[in-house]
Structure 1
């Protein structure tokens, strides 16, 4: 931290990093139909605009800690934000200088660069908060990271939809200036402490990955799977709603952004409530995992039959509540069940699987969205399989009794 810098200012600057990562997809969900119409794309190509951002972001997450141990968090963050700015310029100028498939190719290249950069920002925010602060300040910094993460989810669809009313590719300029603000904030206000430990060698890192997966796969893989499926369905639903609201109900602009933000508000509120009330009791963690998947399963069972406008809004909000129960419990289960030396590695792998879910959601739903009943039956099936695999990995299910066994 820079000498003389306000702790609050530094915490807010760090909080901008997860905000930038979340905005990189959520702000562009409402404008996908506009991109499709402007560039004459298919629904699947429209889904690629989101997916090509998320896949490189996901693949960067597991190795970013290893890189930052060697060259420093600040350098990694600054280079990442430069990638986002470069990608934003490519994407914004694509429809100005090109047409049709050429514009689409340039747009995808820009989104790829954005994804490479964004995949490093949120993990580095948590690492930087841990490096710079201790005690109460560290808790405050980590809490702010989560607040900015949630705020980005809620605000960005509204902002994206509002801007698209006037000029859809202006959203990329907004993303550029947001990354630029974070860049100068980090550049000016953040000063890293000297590293005290020798970074993990690549060979040792690879060995650690193998050992952890082989030793912990029985409980680790089911939670990874269910979390990835949950986020695949959430972002797939957001993509589906963006098209469905316009094509079937004529909902455009800011109102569409508000509709898209509504499920994310429920996700944010119930995630906060669950994290506050759950604690680290293993029985409570398992119960919230069960409750979350049960609510998610129920919502998709009902969506098979009730997917009119009101049913869609209510039941997708219900699905978001289910994720609000499940995701904080999954986070706690993953972080609390491994030792401190392994936690960073496990959390990185977990974050990668979650972000792959985000990446695959839009493209999966774009393939199936021609038949909503088939789409929601497929979603119900995915949740059901995840539910069965998860509880099959437990030696004790805490329903009407307490379990003392390991998660």
Structure 2
């Protein structure tokens, strides 16, 4: 990649590390937590049903805050919004790791969610600010690969730390958000967008953007997809591994690490894959694979079968999520990118919130196997959605004029 300057004055080379830092920080709150959930519930003498509440507490703020953060980022620029989000995340993370009670931990995780609400969408927006066409697809795929690998490997790190020093030290990396905030403030320029519009015009533009069929399909799929990821994989699977297979935090972390292998392969090769088979084929095949993975994990009688399901899960997620993000960004007007991605993230946060709550009810009732099988139902709904509401035609049409590379006109 050439070290060039965009119209915003940012070198494309340093902005990519910041993108990856923001993405990693955004998912630390749940990925570090996942293998620790049974131990935390034991510490505070809570039932398995509280697992969903613990996960959802950090997702709930994003439903409201993500759209607000997107509008602010389009109006005031990226730096004055991204840096404070990272700072709030880091400070709240300290309180999560040191919480003296379950109730305090829930409040701290809620504040953590306020900081995390804008991180994923702003990371994708930064990529879209600097790249077009195939280059944008490549880096969104790479960013999703980083996200997916982190979702799978951070639990391994967390479980290992917990096995040696306890779950509180395993959550200590959440405080690194403070350092990331300083880095963002140094890298990003202070400038506002050149074209200033009224808040009413900004809202009208955002509403107009969401009338695009490809954006609407992508946003709805984000809600369902993240309900499956956070409700089933991150909330229900740890309890399933503990109850059915007796795995410790270290063992649970290893299982969570398995999807990293296949997810990274899918995400980092997404551009090549899409050029060969098209957007809609990628989405439908990924959703079918996702459905199969949850059936395998939910019905697995051995760890080997469950591991195969986890590997298939990784392939599907690694292809699905970045394709949805790129689908939305391909159709978004340049002055509404943060707003569109914020709406996308708000729907994803709604899924992150409702998914764990539903999973908690299933864990408290039918059990962990039923919770995992509910993931197959959600993924199956995505198969139907993509078949009835194709994304590819709108995305491919938007890509034809900008098949170049780095974006130099903002």
* TM-score bin, normalised by smaller chain: 0.7 to 0.9
Do the aligned residues in 2 keep the contact of 1:94 with 1:106 (CA within 8 Å)? Answer: yes
1:79 corresponds to: 84
Residue 290 (structure 1) aligned with residue 288 (structure 2): no
Whose Rg is larger?
1
Shift of 1:110: 0.8
Shift of 1:19: 1.1
1:254 corresponds to: 250
Do the aligned residues in 1 keep the contact of 2:255 with 2:307 (CA within 8 Å)? Answer: yes
Shift of 1:385: 3.0
Of 210, 223, 230, which residue of structure 2 is paired with 1:228? Answer: 223
Do the aligned residues in 2 keep the contact of 1:19 with 1:151 (CA within 8 Å)? Answer: no
Shift of 1:372: 4.3
Partner SS for 1:31: helix
Shift of 1:341: 4.6
Counterpart Cα distance in 1 of 2:131 and 2:377 = 45
Counterpart Cα distance in 2 of 1:303 and 1:221 = 30
Do the aligned residues in 1 keep the contact of 2:32 with 2:171 (CA within 8 Å)? Answer: no
Please list every run of 5 or more consecutive structure 1 residues that lacks an aligned counterpart in the other structure. 96-102, 398-402
Shift of 1:151: 4.2
Matches within 5 A, 1:7-86: 11-86=16-91
Over 3 Å counting, the alpha-carbon distance change for 1:171 and 1:6 in structure 2 is: farther
Do the aligned residues in 2 keep the contact of 1:15 with 1:144 (CA within 8 Å)? Answer: no
Shift of 1:228: 2.6
Shift of 1:373: 4.8
TM-score of the superposition, structure 1-length normalised? 0.81
TM-score of the superposition, structure 2-length normalised? 0.80
Aligned residues: 383
Counterpart Cα distance in 2 of 1:329 and 1:144 = 11
Of 184, 188, 192, which residue of structure 1 is paired with 2:189? Answer: 192
Over 3 Å counting, the alpha-carbon distance change for 1:82 and 1:309 in structure 2 is: same
Partner SS for 2:268: helix
Matches within 5 A, 1:351-362: 351-362=345-356
1:100 corresponds to: none
Do the aligned residues in 2 keep the contact of 1:86 with 1:110 (CA within 8 Å)? Answer: no
Of 357, 361, 365, which residue of structure 2 is paired with 1:367? Answer: 361
1:167 corresponds to: 166
Partner SS for 1:43: coil
Query: Which protein, 1 or 2, shows the higher relative CO under an 8 Å CA cutoff with sep ≥ 6?
Result: 2
Counterpart Cα distance in 1 of 2:224 and 2:20 = 27
Residue 315 (structure 1) aligned with residue 309 (structure 2): yes
Which moved further from structure 2: 285-294 or 5-14? 5-14
Do the aligned residues in 2 keep the contact of 1:16 with 1:148 (CA within 8 Å)? Answer: no
Shift of 1:172: 3.3
Please list every run of 5 or more consecutive structure 2 residues that lacks an aligned counterpart in the other structure. 400-410
Residue 393 (structure 1) aligned with residue 389 (structure 2): yes
Do the aligned residues in 1 keep the contact of 2:141 with 2:271 (CA within 8 Å)? Answer: no
Shift of 1:26: 0.6
Over 3 Å counting, the alpha-carbon distance change for 1:333 and 1:40 in structure 2 is: same
Counterpart Cα distance in 2 of 1:210 and 1:307 = 48
Counterpart Cα distance in 1 of 2:108 and 2:167 = 15
After superposition, what is the alpha-carbon deviation per residue over 1:280-308, rounded to whole angstroms, capped at 9, x for unaligned? Answer: x8x61111111112222333444554354
Do the aligned residues in 1 keep the contact of 2:118 with 2:342 (CA within 8 Å)? Answer: no
Partner SS for 1:41: coil
Shift of 1:394: 4.6
Shift of 1:141: 7.7
1:380 corresponds to: 376
Cα RMSD after superposing both structures: 3.5
Partner SS for 1:94: coil
Matches within 5 A, 1:36-185: 36-95=41-100, 103-128=101-126, 145-146=143-144, 148-165=146-163, 166-176=165-175, 178-185=176-183
Over 3 Å counting, the alpha-carbon distance change for 1:263 and 1:150 in structure 2 is: closer
Do the aligned residues in 2 keep the contact of 1:297 with 1:384 (CA within 8 Å)? Answer: yes
Which moved further from structure 2: 155-164 or 226-235? 226-235
Over 3 Å counting, the alpha-carbon distance change for 1:221 and 1:36 in structure 2 is: same
Counterpart Cα distance in 1 of 2:209 and 2:36 = 41
Do the aligned residues in 2 keep the contact of 1:275 with 1:329 (CA within 8 Å)? Answer: no
Partner SS for 2:171: helix
After superposition, what is the alpha-carbon deviation per residue over 1:304-323, rounded to whole angstroms, capped at 9, x for unaligned? Answer: 54354222221232133223
